[in-house]
Each structure stands twice: as C-alpha cells, then as structure tokens.
C-alpha cells in the first residue's frame, strides 16, 4: 500500500478500531521521518474518512430503525384493535348462547347444532363488569360501591450481620377500588348501580363435537 505506512487493512476495521488506529498513528507522528510522516498523514486522512463514514452510517441505521419502530407501533395498534374486536365478538356470541338458555331453549343446558353441541351451565357467582372510572361515580355511589385499598410497603436496611437496623422506610399508597360484594348485593336488591357497572349471570360454556347428528323432534 503506497498511501499507507502500516499494513493495516483500514476497510476491515470497525468503528472502535478506526478510532483506536487513528489515535495510535497520530501519537507516533513525531517519531517518524518526514517521508514516513507523509505516508502516515495519508493513512490518517483515509482512516478519518472511513471513520466519518461509519459515524454517518450510524445515523442512517438509527433513522431506519426509528422508522421501523414507528411502523411496528402502528401495526401493534392495529393488531390490538383487531384483538379487542374479536374478543368483543366472542363475548357477544357467548351472551347469545346464555340468552338462548335463559329463554328456556336449552334442554338440559344443551344447545345442539348439526356438528357441535354447547353446554351452558350456570355458575353460582355472578360476574361484575365495570366500564367506568370510580372517580366519575357520584359521591353516594362511591360510598356505597367503592372502598379504599391501602398498600403499605416497608423497606428495612440492616447491617451485614442483621443485628442493627440502619434504615427503615414505610410507604403507604391509597387507591379507590370497586367493592364487588356491595355491587352484587345492590344488584340482588334491585338497586340502581353506578353508570357503567353491570352484574351478569355467569356461565361455563363447553363445546363438544357431535359424533352423531341429533334427532330433531
């Protein structure tokens, strides 16, 4: 290599190696002859160009990855929307099966199709659905159907032998949570529940593949 003083293949070096090579060669300039210095300066210039190209490449790749992150976020948002949509569809179909049973059309809790049979069995405990924030409830509803959850976290720092307590911190956190028992009781008594709160009969829904087509009377 006529334009280099060393045998180093600069185009094979990574970013850190280019920085290291440039620094080492720069520090040795004063030890070189004038002729050798000229070769070293040419090598330093080429090393600096390659190093700058690496830095520009970092910017390019960061920009590309940022674009891909945004694409991924948008895709995730669409996927989350699809998941919520299909979960809502499943819930609606479950509700349809429960309504068929509630209206007395499910003999022995079974709903027969040609290929599949659903068994809709009532569970003793109803479920509570809450689609509103407790903070948006009226003061009266909060006092009836909400409670304060208190979380106490204690951090104790001891000496290595565990004999002396060096520091003890206690943090208390409060937040409003729904009182599910009170909500179920209110529903049982026919009281008006807070907006966005529903108590639903809970069912276990099982499905089996029919081995034989059931007789229709």
- 17: helix, strand or coil: helix
Report pLDDT for 5: 87
The alpha helices in the chain, defined as continuous H runs, are 15-27, 34-102, 139-145, 180-188
Report pLDDT for 86: 95
pLDDT (average), residues 120-130: 90
Helix (H) or strand (E) holding 203: strand 203-209
Query: For all residues of the chain together, what is the average pLDDT?
Result: 91
State yes or no: pLDDT of 189 exceeds 60: yes
State yes or no: pLDDT of 114 exceeds 60: yes
pLDDT single digits (tens) 144-181: 999 999 999 988 888 888 777 777 788 999 999 999 99
Report pLDDT for 201: 81
Determine how β-strand 165-178 pairs with β-strand 110-112: unpaired
Report pLDDT for 185: 94
State yes or no: pLDDT of 217 exceeds 60: no
Report pLDDT for 135: 93
pLDDT band at 3 (very low <50, low <70, confident <90, very high): confident
For 196, list phi and psi in degrees, rounded to 5.
85, 5
The pTM for the full model equals: 0.55
Decide if 126 contacts 203 (C-beta within 8 A): no
State yes or no: pLDDT of 76 exceeds 90: yes
More confident residue, 170 or 60: 60
pLDDT single digits (tens) 12-46: 999 999 999 999 999 999 898 988 998 999 999 99
State yes or no: pLDDT of 118 exceeds 70: yes
């Amino acid at each position: 290599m006529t334009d280099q003083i060393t045998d180093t293949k600069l185009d094979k070096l990574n970013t850190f190696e280019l920085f290291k090579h440039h620094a080492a060669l720069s520090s040795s300039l004063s030890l070189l002859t004038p002729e050798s210095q000229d070769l070293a300066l040419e090598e330093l210039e080429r090393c600096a160009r390659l190093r700058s190209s690496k830095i520009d490449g970092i910017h390019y790749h960061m920009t590309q990855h940022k674009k891909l992150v945004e694409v991924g976020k948008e895709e995730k948002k669409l996927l989350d929307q699809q998941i919520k949509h299909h979960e809502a569809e499943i819930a609606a179909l479950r509700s349809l099966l429960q309504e068929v049973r509630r209206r007395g059309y499910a003999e022995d809790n079974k709903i027969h199709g040609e290929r599949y049979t659903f068994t809709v069995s009532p569970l003793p405990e109803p479920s509570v659905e809450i689609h509103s924030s407790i903070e948006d409830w009226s003061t009266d509803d909060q006092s009836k159907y909400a409670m304060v959850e208190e979380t106490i976290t204690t951090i104790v720092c001891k000496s290595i032998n565990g004999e002396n307590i060096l520091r003890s911190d206690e943090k208390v956190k409060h937040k409003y949570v729904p009182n599910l028992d009170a909500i179920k009781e209110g529903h049982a008594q026919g009281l008006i529940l807070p907006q966005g709160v529903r108590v639903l009969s809970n069912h276990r829904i099982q499905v089996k593949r029919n081995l034989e087509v059931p007789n229709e009377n």
